[in-house]
A and B are shown apart, each in its own frame.
Chain A
Amino acid sequence: MSIRKTLVVIGNGMVGQHFLASLVESPIKEDYDIVTFCEEPRAAYDRVHLSSFFSGKSAEDLSLVEPGFFEKHDITVHLGDKAVKIYRHSKIVISEKGVSIHYDKLVLATGSFPFVPPVPGHDRAQCLVYRTIEDLEAMQVAAKISKVGVVVGGGLLGLEAAKALKDLGLQTHVVEFAPRLMAVQLDDAGGALLRSKIEALGVTVHTGKNTSLITDGEQCVNKMCFADGEELETDVILFSAGIRPRDDIARDCALEVGPRGGIVINNQCQTSDPNIYAIGECALWNGMIYGLVAPGYAMARTVVANLAGTEASFTGADMSTKLKLMGVDVASIGDAHAKTPGALVYTYQNGDTAVYKRLVVSQDKKQLLGAVLVGDASAYGTLLQYCLNGIQLPENPDTLILPSRSDEPVALGADALPASAQICSCYDVTKGQICSAINAGCTTLDGLKSETKAATGCGGCASLLKSVLNSELAKQGYEVNTDLCEHFAYTRQDLYTLIRVEQIKTFADLLARHGKGKGCEICKPTVGSILASCWNDYILKTEHASLQDTNDNYLANMQKDGTYSVVPRIAGGEISPDMLIALGQVGKKYKLYTKITGGQRVDLFGARVDQLPPIWKELIDAGFESGHAYGKSLRTVKSCVGSNWCRYGVDDSVGLAIELENRYKGLRSPHKIKFAVSGCTRECAEAQSKDVGIIATENGWNLYVCGNGGMKPRHADLFATGLDKATLIQYIDRFLSFYVRSADRLQRTSVWMENMEGGLDYLKSVVIEDKLGLCEQLEQQMQLVIDTYQCEWKTTIEDESKLKRFRHFVNSEQSDDNLVFVEERGQIRPADEQERKHFKLVEVA
């Protein structure tokens, strides 16, 4: 008979959580009752992307724990309760709140704390650290009453923290003891380039500075005095001068710790007590503390494997890193400082584009030992694979860092990698694992990500993952047919280009030049939509009418019984009582079912096709216009009430929403488009769930793009911050035009962006930096659509010949006798089958 044992995990940080997530995937979880202590008031969150808290991410967004994770796996979690004592003899853990638990196995994942140099005055007011969400909240509070901020420490975390201070609107300085930034990862030249880039962003960098005293300032709260006699006045001081392992609980119970701290572990991650393991930043392996998350994850998996009785060891980890620091790409691989005897160094520096690359190569020029990349880290994936897998270098290794002057890609093809090559270091996914997932039928990037977890951590390996996928699919002879349908051997994007370049104005012309057959319900509406996007003709014009899909065809939304719903535009959701009454009167007169939509307008259901023109005549007379609810086009710009009324409003969200809705109304696009504008960061308009979301801040408008609700909800990504209205509109013009031009049929902005090579960064480079030199064209295209807007319903009811199509019968004034309504909650709805039979019997009788 097996008796369940108890496993206690102290610490629910990134590594502690990774341990739990790995454990519940393993069969041995059945052997244990699992208990975890978490000192912080919230469970594990993403500390790597902590600075995104200041660019709009919430604590929930940063969470690493799936909702219901602890409940689902029956894990007892003590949140906000710190484990304070371990009695090894009786195997008991005691918490601050007095919880006492017997353990069979104990895992210490206590992490680290920020090192604060013991400078006199380090504990003065507004001297903070940067580690937890509570620290960030303290920074927010401090920033409100401050103008200047200093980060002590020019390493990886320090620069992240500097970005946070910058985002909080402080005049920002970085003070570093070493003579250059990121001294561990970069060499002098790389550090200098990074410095110039960061200074160009308005952050002042001071290197070689040893702080000797912090005291009262004259203009600011604090003054920092340096050993060289210089001084710096600042309000906030943020210490980010490295980390120290949290080993106090281990020391207290006499586990072996290193001379400079850290709980000593062996290759199985066991401490000096074999029933106690230590993982992550609190653990000292081979004299090393690993301050990165990937090695911590590897330790966590080692412990799970050992508990399961599998041979597994942690034997050190690669410390290569790639990240974007304040918008600057920085990467460091392996032996970046060329400490290996005989190592050869190649460097490439481009003063114009501010790119620096350094390769460290073995004496025989066969192996890559290390690399430094600043300004352009696109070669990271390839170089890391060379380095980790010992792949033989090309004859002239410098070709790997020299700019390619032809179109030939220098990237290491996926085929060159051995099956054991680690593609994703966050989740330790090898090429072999990815290939087997592909062979098992996982043939999309999204599918591979959810199946293998590759590219779902830092995302740095996404492009490599894609090339493995493509190369495997090609090997299997799998050819992706991207033809729109049997009538056109082109994609939607191709057709868009053909129509624009050849100035094609009708479907018949396009079909004659580039298609075959008669067309179908795929290509006709697609082409109809492209023609409308490009030339913005009236969509029921004789040559376009037969192309339109179900709803566009009658400028209304067909419901299950063949009746239609009618949605007039209520821009920004703002409507006067008189207009509301007019709407109600139409609904009442035609006995329509009325419902408020999610887009802040009113939907009137149950209109017969022959009733649409008279209904619209009345609506237009009352001052309404088409809401385009029937089109793949701009639907609504939702808004909160904004600064005109709200006590918290920062700007006039309703005014902007109305302006935007009127600007883009009628724009035909690959799929529907929704906007929202919130007047403050409380975000009542839910702008982050929209294709285009705008949030007012003290510094201007923040623009979010590519979110959506629906079947697969996606939060929008922050695209640009602190914009004035003119720039905001310019970016939206470009963004929408680029989407209309390059998206697939029925592809929403989210999927469009996710499938784009380079994703959000690429999109920014096109829209903000005009990388493709397209922006002027994109703006002109949008202007044409805006200038040629017409209310389709107004045009329709003014044209006798168009009204003919709205009769149910071509030869009778009768209406469809198959339409039967019953009453529910005081309004109509279509009768169900039972009710219909009953009704027919009554009629006949």
Chain B
Amino acid sequence: MSAWQTVCQLDDLQADSGVCALVSGVQIALFYMPQESVVYALSNYDPIGQANVLSRGILGDINEQPVVSSPLYKQHFNLNTGICLEDESISLAVYPVRIVNDSVQISVTETQ
């Protein structure tokens, strides 16, 4: 089942940058682009560098895809799909996210 949880307030996010939230024991990176009023939510774990660091990566776009670049070894991950641009066999979990009355809400499927 899925349920929307409020994780933090919009002003807890960092403009054009990331923060990390702990949601049901899972580390989720939240990226906020104020110009488009959009928030992306992906796993914070970098499967290549094997560390919880993706929220500290630089945001940008490559060939018009919104991406975050890993702070460790600079691979790019598509913010919409979680797919790694350098190795398509690697992808990050992507979570539904929305903003309701300045609250940032995430839906995490409970697996247990």
Contact = CB atoms under 8 A, between A and B. Distances in A.
Nearest to A519: B60
B52 A816 contact: yes
Nearest to B32: A546
Contacts of A396: none
A542 B20 contact: no
Interface string B46-62: 00010111001111111
A560 B60 contact: no
* Best-buried of A523, A546, A804, A818 by chain B (most CB within 10 Å): A546
Contact of B21 (A542, A545, A809): A809
B51 A809 contact: no
A558 B71 contact: yes
B99 to A, nearest CB: 14
Given A558-B53, A562-B52, A808 B58 contact: no
Given A525-B58, A553-B71, A810-B8, A546 B51 contact: no
A452 to B, nearest CB: 35
Contacts of A816: 27, 52
Given A546-B17, A810-B20, A524 B58 contact: yes
B21 to A, nearest CB: 5
A517 interface: yes
Main SS class of interface, B: strand
A632 to B, nearest CB: 15
Contacts of A487: 60
Nearest to B56: A553
A545 B58 contact: no
Contacts of A550: 56-57, 71-72
B22 interface: yes
Interface in A804-823: 804-805, 807-812, 814, 816, 818
A560 B51 CA distance: 8
B22 A545 contact: no
A546 B71 contact: no
A553 B72 CA distance: 12
Nearest to A830: B51
B52 A818 contact: yes
B102 interface: no
Contacts of B19: 805, 807, 810
Nearest to B6: A811
Contacts of A561: 51
A811 B7 contact: yes
A837 to B, nearest CB: 13
Name the prevailing secondary structure of the A interface residues: loop
Nearest to A542: B15
B52 A521 contact: no
A560 B15 contact: no
Interface in B15-59: 15-17, 19-23, 27, 30, 33, 45, 49, 51-53, 56-59
Nearest to B18: A546
Contacts of B72: 550, 558, 560, 562
B53 A486 contact: no
Contacts of A818: 45, 51-52
A518 B61 contact: yes
B14 interface: yes
A558 B70 CA distance: 12
A19 interface: no
Contacts of A524: 58, 60
A281 interface: no
A518 B65 CA distance: 10
A486 B85 CA distance: 15
B22 A546 contact: no
Interface string B72-84: 1010000000000
B110 interface: no
Contacts of A517: 60-61, 64
Contacts of A804: 12
Contact of B58 (A486, A549, A609): A549
A745 to B, nearest CB: 14
Given A558-B53, A809-B22, A521 B15 contact: no
B80 to A, nearest CB: 14
A66 B53 CA distance: 46
B53 A562 contact: yes
B89 to A, nearest CB: 20
A520 B14 contact: no
Interface in A774-826: 804-805, 807-812, 814, 816, 818
B60 A810 contact: no
B63 interface: yes
Contacts of B61: 517-520
A520 B62 contact: yes
A486 B62 contact: yes
B22 A812 contact: yes
A290 interface: no
A609 B8 CA distance: 19
A808 B19 CA distance: 8
A811 B66 contact: no
Contacts of B66: 518
B25 to A, nearest CB: 9
B69 A520 contact: yes
A511 to B, nearest CB: 11
A810 B33 CA distance: 17
Interface string A551-564: 00110001011100
**Residue from B27, B60, B61, B72 having most chain A Cβ neighbours under 10 A:** B60
Nearest to B64: A517
A302 to B, nearest CB: 54
A811 B51 contact: no
A560 B71 CA distance: 10
A382 B63 CA distance: 46
A810 B15 contact: no
A810 B7 contact: yes
Nearest to B46: A562
A804 B13 CA distance: 10
A480 to B, nearest CB: 21
A812 B7 CA distance: 10
A523 B60 CA distance: 10
A519 B19 CA distance: 19
A546 B56 contact: no
Contacts of B23: 811
Contacts of B12: 804, 810-811
A521 B30 contact: no
Contacts of A814: 22
A523 B16 CA distance: 14
Nearest to B33: A518
A521 B22 contact: no
Interface in A396-442: none
A324 B75 CA distance: 50
Given A561-B51, A818-B51, A520 B60 contact: yes
A805 B64 CA distance: 28
A205 B57 CA distance: 67
Interface in A513-567: 517-521, 523-525, 542, 545-547, 549-550, 553-554, 558, 560-562
A520 B7 contact: no
Given A520-B61, A554-B56, A807-B19, 10 more contacts: A486-B62, A517-B64, A518-B59, A546-B14, A550-B57, A562-B56, A812-B22, A814-B22, A816-B52, A818-B51
Interface of B: 7-8, 12-17, 19-23, 27, 30, 33, 45, 49, 51-53, 56-64, 66-67, 69, 71-72, 74
The 10 closest A-B pairs by CB, nearest first: A520-B60, A562-B51, A521-B69, A550-B71, A546-B16, A546-B17, A521-B58, A562-B53, A810-B19, A518-B61
28 contacts: A486-B62, A520-B61, A520-B67, A523-B60, A542-B15, A546-B15, A550-B57, A553-B56, A554-B56, A558-B53, A558-B56, A560-B51, A561-B51, A562-B49, A804-B12, A805-B19, A809-B20, A810-B7, A810-B8, A810-B19, A810-B20, A811-B12, A811-B22, A812-B21, A812-B22, A814-B22, A816-B52, A818-B45
Interface of A: 486-487, 517-521, 523-525, 542, 545-547, 549-550, 553-554, 558, 560-562, 609, 804-805, 807-812, 814, 816, 818
